Every structure is written in C-alpha cells, then in structure tokens.
Amino acid sequence: MDAASFAPVPVDLIVKAPKVLLHDHLDGGLRPQTVIELAAETEYDDLPSTDPDELARWFSEAAFSGSLERYLETFRHTVGVTQTAGALQRVARECAEDLAADGVVYAEVRFAPELHLSRGLTEREVIEHVLLGFAEGQQMAREGGHHIRVGVLLTAMRTATHSRQIAELSVEFRDRGVVGFDIAGAEAGFPPTRHLDAFEYLRRENAHFTIHAGEAFGLPSIWEAIQWCGADRLGHGVRIVDDITVNPDGSVELGRLASYVRDRRIPLEMCPSSNVQTGAAESIDHHPIGLLRRLGFRVTVNTDNRLMSGTSMSHEMSLLSQAFGYGLADMQWFTINAMKSAFIPFDERLSIINQQIKPGYAQVTDELSQRLAQGSV
C-alpha cells in the first residue's frame, strides 16, 4: 500500500469514495424536516418538537440511552408519520437521494411492512409504494450525477408472529426490488428460533436473509441465528467478541463460534455509532470492529439509523479513521467486503466492484496523493 493509504483522509474525499451499505432502516433515516411536514400532513400531533434542529437533537439524545429497548422507542414518531402511501413513497425517495449524495453506490434498506398499516394500507401496498419511492430516488440521483442501486429487505418483528407471512412477501417481490429478509426488534427473550418456520421457508425458496443478532444479547443469539436458522449475515454481531480472548502478551485465541464465523466468512453488519448508543460497545475507540478487522473477519461498516445516530456512511468511516488510523485502503476493504456480501447476483456484485468501487477509490487515492504532495492536507 502507498503512503496515501495511511494519510489522514479529508471528509470531502471520504464522501467522494464509493461506499456500500447493508444495514440501514428506512424508518430510522428520515430527514427531520420531512418528519415535521409529514406530521402536519397526517395530523400526527405527538412530536417532541417542530423545529428541525431541535427535533434532530431530540432523536439523537433519546437514542443515546445505553439500552436497545429505549433506543427502539424513538421509532414511534417516524413510524407514526409514515402510515400513508404518499409518506412511504416520499421517505424512500429521499432515502435514495441522501445515500447517493453521500457516495453510496449500493444500499440495502430494510423496513417492516407490518408497522405501516394503521391507516388502511395492506402490506403489499406498503411494499409497492416503498419500491416506487426508491425507483424515483434512484432516477433523481442519476439525473444529479450519482449512481446508486437500492435493494429492499423486508423485516419481520421478532416480538410478533407474522414472520412467515413477511417471508412469503419477500419471495413474492424478489424480482421487483426486494433482495432479502430480516428479523429485528428486542433480542432478549425473543430468540430467532421462534421464527424457524420463516427461515426454513426461505431456504426452500433459495432466498437470502440476515438476522439481527449479537447486539443487545450475547453469543447464544449469534449461535442460534447461524446454526439453527441458517442466516447468511449477522445484523451487528458485535458480541462475537465475547468468544475471543486477547492475552496479556497480545496473542489472540478464538473460541469455536468465533472461529466458525471467521472461517465461513459470515458477514458482520456492524454499526459503530448505533452500537455505542445502545450500549453494545463502550465507545468508537473501543469498538470491537478494530480487533475483528485485524483478525480478518468479514466486517462491514453501516449506519443502522441515520436520524437516531445523527450519522451517515461517510461519518462512520471518518469516525473509524480517527479511532483506528484507517486510510482509504481500509475503507476500500470494508466496502468490498460489503459488496461481496450483498444479496444480489454474483455478476452484478462483481460489476459494481470493478466498475465503480475500485475505480472510485483509485481516483480519490490519486487526489489525496496530489494534496499530500502540495502540502494541502
């Protein structure tokens, strides 16, 4: 690697660098102004503030609780204002535009259809309008010179009993933009094995799925997600570090589960800022991603909920760069890891890697080298 790979990376270059996002919640990424406008349109009168800056600050502060359960309570408002076809279409469109503007070239965005039915929409109508919104957003991004592809993950709530129905919808819509399935929600007391019927159905249908596991709960959640349910990826997976011992002399020992996850190249959808907010990690500086990247796990970097965490993909990369000294080469490594792990066909993944990611990083690396030579960094 050249010297530019290890130089401090200016934020504007991180924004330019191609990025891939696998773990992002649609209802966790609304623009504060959009929340306010949708609340007025739909007569939702329970917002804590109608000032965009104050509302953004409230979401961040309320989410920074150290508790996953408290963190999840903030979604009452974003879900509350997205109960109509127009609202769903708008937030999906804006999501695609915002990600593209941040340099994301491929994203998988997840949402739970069952949470948007209080005003009479059916689950199919919810999915159709979200897909339409993403199509519009991708087109608007292209017109603005940004190329992004968005795939949808349908999420079932692990605290509910509709997972098989949502799994069937993910298969029904998989040729129309849905690329996979997920379960989310409070982990403790709601193991993934409660939804075995859905996972067995998806495997029979050759469908892809990820499972939120190893965030608020420990190794048993990860073990069940992989060995009982057959997850292709792990949503978060932070607590895999509990099966890794770092000895006083610096040597590292992996337990059997950690070894299995690394050996099988099971992708970890890590969300640093969110993990700190929910107490899954002590701080960015002490986030397990540093150790896991050093040990060669299939680690990816993600936003989780851009509104609640006040973040973006570029911001997450910047935080990791500051904490661990990562340069552009490391960011490319994370990005290619994510693209390899996406739920789209191999040839399409390879095309994005070769035609967008690698050329994009070559370009920003050259630009960084020029700035270094000129002494402008």
Q: Which residues are catalytic?
A: 215
Contact indicator for 64, 56 with CB cutoff of 8 Å = no
| Residue matched to tokens 């069940």 | 224
In sequence order, the β-bridge partners of residue 305 are: none
Which 3 state secondary structure label does DSSP give 244? strand
Alpha carbon of 133 to those of 91, 95, 137, 176: distances in Å?
7, 9, 6, 13
Of the candidates 230, 225, 158, the residue with the CA atom closest to the CA atom of residue 189: 158
DSSP state, 163?
H
Contact indicator for 166, 155 with CB cutoff of 8 Å = yes
Give 362-370's long-range contacts (Cβ < 8 A, gap of 24+).
363/16, 364/13, 364/16, 364/17, 364/328, 365/2, 365/4, 365/5, 365/328, 365/329, 367/13, 367/16, 368/4, 368/7, 368/9, 368/10, 368/13, 368/328, 369/2, 369/3, 369/4
Task: Please give the Cα distance from 143 to 114 (Å, whole number).
Answer: 33
Contact indicator for 232, 343 with CB cutoff of 8 Å = yes
